Structures are given as C-alpha cells and as structure tokens.
C-alpha cells in the first residue's frame, strides 16, 4: 500500500501535501517561511524583507548577493523541517566539512609547495624507496591513529597540514614573519607536539641534533619530495583531487587524441567512454570531486567580475570573444553561480540550489546540461 503523501510534510506547519499544488496555499506557505525566518534571525530577515519589498531597488549587485547568501540558509532549514529531511541535510553538511582538509591541502600546500616549486624537477632524481621509508616511519610513530587504508588522501592531507603548521609556528618565533602576531610565542600544545615528533624520529636515527626549526624543515622537505614523487609512482594518486593541476585552454588543440595511423584518430584510453544512444555516460563523481570544482571557483561576484554569470567584458564594457569567435556572454539567465558556490562550499547544497532557481526555476527539469555558456565565460577558460 502506498504511503500517505501527507506524512511527507511536518504537521507542525499545518500543511497537507496537496497544498503544494494550490497557489493560494503556496502563498500561505510563503508567509510561514517568512515567519520562521523572522523568528530565527530578525536582523537578516529585516534586510531580506527590505530587499523583497523594494524589488531590489536601491540595492547594488553586491548588496543583493549578500542578502540572498545570508537568507538562503534559512530557506534551506525551513524546507528541511517542512519535508522532514533534516538528517539528510546534516549528512551533506558533515560530508562537506569532512573534505575540507583535502581542499585546503590542495590549495595551500600542493599547488604552492609542490607544483610551483618542483616544475623543473625530475621524479627519477629522487630516491623513492628512501622517501617512502621515511614517511612510513613518520606515519607509524606520529600518526598511527590515522586510518590511511580507509582514506589515504584525507589523512595525508591532515598530517602534512599539521607538519606545515608546526614549522610555521617555529619559523615565526625564531625568524619572525610579516604575518606573525607581535611578541609571538609558540603555543605550548604546538611545542609539545613538535618535540614529540622530533624526539621519535631521532630515536630512529632519522634526524640529527640540529635545532628544532631545522629538524622541522628537514621533515617537511622530505615530505614535500615524497609528495612530488608519489604522484608519478603511485597510480592511486591519479584519483586524488589534491593533485588537481588545471591546464591552460589550448584552443588549437581542444580535444586530446592520438593517431595510431594517418587515417585514425583515437582518444586517450583513460577517457574512453562507450556511447549507448542518448544515455548519460559520465564518469561518476564523488563528493570530493564535486567539491573540488566548487573550491576552484574564485567567487568573482565579490568583485563584480563573475563573468560566468554576467559575461566577460573589456574595460569599455564590450563583450569579449574567445579565439574561436564565441562571444563570452556568460549565463543567458544570469544565474547566481558564484553565490551558489559559496553556499555549496559551506555544506548547504539546498541553499545553493535555491539561489540558482531564482533565475532558472526550471533547473530541476533541465539539469546542468542546458548549455555551457557559463564555462566559456569563466575567467579560467580564457587564461
């Protein structure tokens, strides 16, 4: 027997499932949301109400973005309670936060300390076995509570970020830094942890009696070398978003292919997908891979440069074209893409979705395949 649809909704709000198809009841539902919003945060509610009542008149685009970003989480929370999906939303939130270490590691460490500084390095010039032995020992004595078998990328990110933090604190104290607070002292917890790791590695004859800062630098250097060579030696890292290294768009070679013979063009094996009619043939994306794309966004709306939404213009306001002659007018609907990315990065996918639906209410029907003008207009596509 089919489940009673009215059980889908939380009776606390006094609505039946059929009310969702009644325009008059939808007006009541909107009023219920406003009441919920007002009770939850009166200040943000009043700002949203001022924006809604004025139709945006007198608001700059930045004001509108901020108001909507501030308001959308309350709509997400309201819908979560109304449809009794709070547990699912919480799960998505914590899944997002779980990935944060990997994303920080990718942006603040791998991109800056590996890809930029090892551009001319050759992996064959490093002793992979010695590096692996050092790092494995380090993990055994200092990070034996990390489950590297379950999620090596996650826990690699965590231990490397901790080492970088230890080295930073010692460097700030002994050498100073423009970012270091005045009269900076190494926190006791940091000092204790650093001494524990250094002492353990000395007991294995892997460090000398050099000053602690020098030893921390030596540890970090070995880890950096290991990370660089690991990309080439460990095939599992090909799936790591930590090594995400976007390439410049080559408009003369947009499609990568090989030519086994003069009359044959073939695509790379690792990108081959069999097409079966009109069925989707995407590679399945993990939460981490999706968030990697969100994290890559520069959130240009904060500088009113969100060309994915508004188009890429020159200083005179004229739309630019790419080398293929395509005008880079961005999203035809001017969807709030950058704003939505901010909310998705915070673990609020329903709030992000609500911002997209302001300009594209048919998004649930069209999905993300209606066009690719946003991608063409993105500043990264034109670099």
Tokens of 323: 């080398």
User: In Å, how far from its chain's centre is CA 296?
Assistant: 6
In this model, does residue 382 exceed pLDDT 80?
A: no
> Which comes out higher in pLDDT, residue 277 or 83?
83
What is the residue-averaged pLDDT of the chain? 92
CB-based contacts of 309-313 (< 8 A; 24+ apart in sequence): 309/334, 309/335, 309/336, 309/337, 309/338, 309/374, 309/377, 310/334, 311/377, 312/377, 312/379, 312/382
Please calculate the CA angle 284-376-368 and round it to the nearest 5 degrees: 40
In this model, does residue 60 exceed pLDDT 60?
A: yes
In this model, does residue 119 exceed pLDDT 50?
A: yes
- pTM more than 0.85: yes
Q: What percent of the chain has pLDDT over 90?
A: 76
pLDDT at 381: 67
Rounded mean pLDDT, 336-342 = 96
Tokens of 274: 């069999």
């Amino acid at each position: 027997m089919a489940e009673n649809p009215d059980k889908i909704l939380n009776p606390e709000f006094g609505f039946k499932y059929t009310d969702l198809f009644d325009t008059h009841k939808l007006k009541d539902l909107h009023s219920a949301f406003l009441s919920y919003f007002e009770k939850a945060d009166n200040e943000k509610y009043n700002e949203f109400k001022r924006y809604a009542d004025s139709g945006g008149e007198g608001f700059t685009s930045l004001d509108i973005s901020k108001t909507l970003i501030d308001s959308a989480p309350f709509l997400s929370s309201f819908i979560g309670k109304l449809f009794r999906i709070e547990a699912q939303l919480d799960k998505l939130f914590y899944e997002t936060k779980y990935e944060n270490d990997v994303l920080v590691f990718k942006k603040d460490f791998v991109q800056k300390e590996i890809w930029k500084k090892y551009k001319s390095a050759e992996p064959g010039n490093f002793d992979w076995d010695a590096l692996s032995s050092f790092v494995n020992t380090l993990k055994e004595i200092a990070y034996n509570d990390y489950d590297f078998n379950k999620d090596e990328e996650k826990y690699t990110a965590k231990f490397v970020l901790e080492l970088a933090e230890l080295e930073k604190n010692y460097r700030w104290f002994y050498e100073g830094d423009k970012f270091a607070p005045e009269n900076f002292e190494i926190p006791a917890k940091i000092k204790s942890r650093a001494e524990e790791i250094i002492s353990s590695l000395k007991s294995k004859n892997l460090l000398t009696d050099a000053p602690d800062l020098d030893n921390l630098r030596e540890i970090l250097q070995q880890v950096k070398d290991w990370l660089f060579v690991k990309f080439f030696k460990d095939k599992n890292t090909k799936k790591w978003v930590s090594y995400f290294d976007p390439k410049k768009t080559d408009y003369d070679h947009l499609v990568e292919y090989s030519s086994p013979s003069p009359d044959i063009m073939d695509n790379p094996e690792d990108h081959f997908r069999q097409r079966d009619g009109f069925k989707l043939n995407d590679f399945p994306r993990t939460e981490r891979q999706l968030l990697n794309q969100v994290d890559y966004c520069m959130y240009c709306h904060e500088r009113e440069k969100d060309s994915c939404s508004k188009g890429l213009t020159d200083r005179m306001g004229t739309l630019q074209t790419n080398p293929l002659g395509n005008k880079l007018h961005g999203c035809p609907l001017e969807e709030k893409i950058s704003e939505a990315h901010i909310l998705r990065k915070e673990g609020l996918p329903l709030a992000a979705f609500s911002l997209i639906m302001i300009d594209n209410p048919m998004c649930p029907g069209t999905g993300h395949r209606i066009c690719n003008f946003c991608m063409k207009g993105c500043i990264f596509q034109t670099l």
